[in-house]
Chain A
Amino acid sequence: NAGVMQNPRHLVRRRGQEARLRCSPMKGHSHVYWYRQLPEEGLKFMVYLQKENIIDESGMPKERFSAEFPKEGPSILRIQQVVRGDSAAYFCASSPRASGQGTDTQYFGPGTRLTVL
């Protein structure tokens, strides 16, 4: 059973371009989470999605960032008109279900390192 897959592992963009980060959850997992790790910081929650639904986007910046998890295919985190401050490692995690008590393990992917020139 393959783990959580993220691609690309490294992404370089110039200011103003778009960045698309992809996450394929573990087989059988229908819950996806995105986190961002800025240099010298811990991971910060961005968004929680189930298939075709955004459940919690309280950590998403209000502009330029969007996320989706379609019925078919990977989850996509999209950053429009990137700025240097978007340079970070973006991690995706998946879990099989939500228990409501925070007890289900989240399995993390290897991350995408975004560099904005």
Chain B
Amino acid sequence: GNSVTQMEGPVTLSEEAFLTINCTYTATGYPSLFWYVQYPGEGLQLLLKATKADDKGSNKGFEATYRKETTSFHLEKGSVQVSDSAVYFCALSAQGGSEKLVFGKGTKLTVNP
């Protein structure tokens, strides 16, 4: 079945450090890929998405590129801020499916000043 594997945390960085959170997936066909972010006490918010191979999603300085050859969708940010501290979830939605999302386990990021 479809699955998502993402780097386990927690990840602790200093402000302005470079961030990479790895995400790989297993799916048939061409799924859509997503990164969601969850701030403490809140629901999940869509951070970025990509719907086909080689697409790059970007938002708020975060980027991720849909790599079909490596089945990956790694999240990157060049310079993190304290306000980026949150839990990040990688997810996929299978092609032609019922739109349900399959999530990774989440990676908790803490950014220290």
Contact = CB atoms under 8 A, between A and B. Distances in A.
Interface in A17-66: 31, 33, 35, 40-45, 48, 55-56, 58-59
Interface of B: 4, 31-32, 36, 41-46, 49, 51, 89, 92-106
B99 A102 contact: yes
Interface of A: 3-4, 6, 31, 33, 35, 40-45, 48, 55-56, 58-59, 91, 93, 95, 98-111
A91 B44 contact: yes
17 contacts: A4-B43, A31-B99, A33-B99, A33-B101, A35-B101, A42-B103, A44-B103, A45-B101, A48-B98, A48-B100, A56-B100, A98-B99, A102-B93, A102-B99, A103-B49, A103-B51, A103-B93
Contacts, number: 75
